[in-house]
Structure 1
């Protein structure tokens, strides 16, 4: 029988811990105190290293592996969403609020994908463009049955609108600004007590 590679790997780790004085870590790994005093003796080392008997128990935590894989998938998806948002003209504030990114991280992301940071004031949005944003956003919200409580789904809808209207020079930041204004001022969701601005926006819809 050949010697166990698992034994060798764990023995090497134990020796490193002992040499660095991390005896408590050895105890946590299951090594008894009386063995600690013998483990560096050449005869004991040879026995533990060369025995074909596996003296290490290894178990796989399947649930933890699943969690790690799920987190990795979420991380990849989040990276795609962040890149998409940046390309559509998301501001540093928007990216920080949604993804917790620092200004330095956002600057690095922009540099990596070759997108320049927006500077100065946004170009003025015409009334016709505002009508287009309202029309597409409200329709997509209804079609996808998105709740105002689901912020990431809301952002996805805003990005869909931005992708449709980017040729008109509109950015995600501008579109998100309108959306938050409509929600904060209770122009959306629509109800029987809609104010003058909501009616004006709807009239704009019918001219599309």
Structure 2
């Protein structure tokens, strides 16, 4: 039996109403204009009745858009979509687990699952130590970003920007920046015993 858009709408709302009834959500049922008689009729319905509704090309609903809810909902969905896109970009760029945990609250299980879905090679070992030239380049790029934006910690977008500016891998960037943030901007130590000459 083929369904149609009217039947799909009716079935979806009736299923929602039946769930509200089962959970005792009287407020939601009243908002949909279900009164005592309608609730009694709803109690008698079963899945076979919903299946039969697929043959109907009418619906018994008055649909209205609540713009006060609609736009915040779309903004929330857009924010989630952009956040997930950013997380995928970071993972493809080989972001370490600690970075994803701190920036997005990603668990180790989620991290592993996403890497498998993205067919990324397993991350093994520590990032390679940078040479002095790359260390200096990253230090100054990080300092410029911190001072320009007047921030103490970087965002996910900032880390991607540093990677694009310096060409250094995210694992190394994360490890060094975390070390520098721990030591403070006034520290003269870059990392691994190297001193950043003319550094702040």
Whether TM exceeds 0.5 here: the answer is yes
Cα pair 1:17 1:25 within 8 Å, conserved: no
Q: Can you give the 5+ residue segments of structure 1 that lack an aligned partner in the other structure?
A: 41-51, 189-193
Structure showing greater radius of gyration is 1
Q: Can you give the 5+ residue segments of structure 2 that lack an aligned partner in the other structure?
A: 1-5, 45-57
CA displacement at 1:197 relative to structure 2: 3.2
Measured in 1, the distance between the counterparts of 2:102 and 2:40 equals 55
SS at match of 1:114: coil
Question: Using a 3 Å threshold, how does the CA distance of structure 1 residues 30 and 129 change in structure 2: closer, same or farther?
Answer: same
CA displacement at 1:66 relative to structure 2: 0.9
CA displacement at 1:133 relative to structure 2: 0.7
Over residues 137-160 of structure 1, what are the superposed CA-to-partner deviations in whole Å (9 max), with x where a residue is unaligned? 2123344x24225x42xx322221
Question: Using a 3 Å threshold, how does the CA distance of structure 1 residues 197 and 102 change in structure 2: closer, same or farther?
Answer: closer
> Equivalent residue for 1:159?
160
Measured in 1, the distance between the counterparts of 2:135 and 2:89 equals 22
RMSD value, Cα = 3.8
Measured in 2, the distance between the counterparts of 1:34 and 1:23 equals 18
Measured in 2, the distance between the counterparts of 1:23 and 1:136 equals 56
For normalisation by structure 1, the TM-score amounts to: 0.64
For normalisation by structure 2, the TM-score amounts to: 0.66
Picking from 178, 189, 193, the partner of 1:197 is 189
CA displacement at 1:55 relative to structure 2: 7.4
Alignment of 1:18-29 (within 5 A): 22=22, 24=24, 28=30, 29=32
